[in-house]
Amino acid sequence: MSSLTEARVSEVRAFNRFYTKVIGALQAGMLNSPYSLTEVRVLFELAHAERMETGELRGLLGLDAGYLSRILARFESDGLITRERSAADARKQLVALTPAGAEVFAALDKRSSEEIGALLDGLPETDQERLVGSMATIRRLLGGGGQARAPYVIRPPRTGDLGWVVYRHGALYSAEYGWGTEFEQLVARIVGDLDFSRDTGWIAEVDGERAGCVFCVRQDDTTAKLRMLLVEPSARGLGIGRRLVDECLRHARAEGYKRIVLWTRDCLESARRIYQAAGFELDSEEKGMENGVEVTEQMWSRDL
């Protein structure tokens, strides 16, 4: 092993020691619970699946069969899980959380989010972004070729983002649909009308590069408007569009709006599927023109 490699190995090991201490992995029980880090991770996987075959769970977490069996036996004794034979294959065992198990996990999950939130609150906004971005990079680099979804970050807009929003709307929709400078000017006017004392927005990043955006603006005292949803072609399929819409809905509810509306065009099929999945319904549509291209303007809405 070269001296350079030895230095890098030492740095990785030092980071591991540091971070396991930060997250409390060295304690006898995670999150002030009687359960270890591995046991809490097993609860996490079970909580996110209706039921799971033990072999699948073992493979997912890379656990020894005997070790997993002891964990499950403890959970069963504590009333956190049920185990039964698969109807399709009696050699396989299915595991599911009981209501008590789901309650225990929910409490642990809430405590974990609160601790990480407190950790982030101790850092300035720019350092939070650097930290989360660096963590995403670690996941991407060490995730292996089988990683299906690239990590991304959702953050508030900062200086320079609004110009990017106008530019990417103009360039992307011109290339994909033939819309011209008049559409880019329309987006510029919408951006120019933003009032961040009442309006807000989010920027998505993948590997530190802007990959999407959405904005939630005030239409009137009871109605919000979702505007300028965009996801770069290179980032489509990662769930970014749905996440941005969810952020917009969450914010609108928190601000006390009763209804949210949006304007789109029927050719934006991916966006329309996201809106429908989020509960929006088509209110009206009419024909229009954009740079000599016929378009169908649509208004969608949903109650909050």
Q: Which residues of the chain have pLDDT under 70?
A: 144-150
Q: What is the pLDDT of residues 86-116, one digit of tens each?
A: 777 777 889 999 999 999 999 999 998 899 8
Residue 91, phi-psi category: left (phi > 0), alpha (psi -120 to 50), beta (remainder): alpha
Note the pLDDT of residue 212. 96
Which CATH number does 153-303 carry? 3.40.630.30
Residues 6+ apart with CB under 8 A from 304: 224, 249, 252, 253, 257, 258, 259, 260
pLDDT of residue 144: 59
What one-character-per-residue DSSP string does 47-96 give?
HTSS-EEHHHHHHHHT--HHHHHHHHHHHHHTTSEEEEE-SS-TT-EEEE
Architecture of domain 3-122: Orthogonal Bundle (1.10)
Residue type, 102: A
User: In the numeric block, which tokens belong to residue 148?
Assistant: 């299906």
Instruction: Name the pTM for this structure.
Output: 0.55
Cα–Cα distance measured from residue 201 to residue 248, given in angstroms and rounded to the nearest whole number: 8
Q: Which helix (H) or strand (E) holds 142?
A: helix 125-142
CB 243 within 8 Å of CB 229: no
Strand 93-97 and strand 81-85: pairing? antiparallel
Provide the residue ranges of all domains of the chain, joining segments of one domain with +: 3-122, 153-303
Pairing relation of β-strands 153-155 and 200-206? antiparallel
Q: What is the dihedral of CA 166, 250, 151, 31, to 10 degrees?
A: 150
Give the model confidence (pLDDT) of 275-301 as tens digits. Answer: 999 999 999 999 999 989 899 999 999
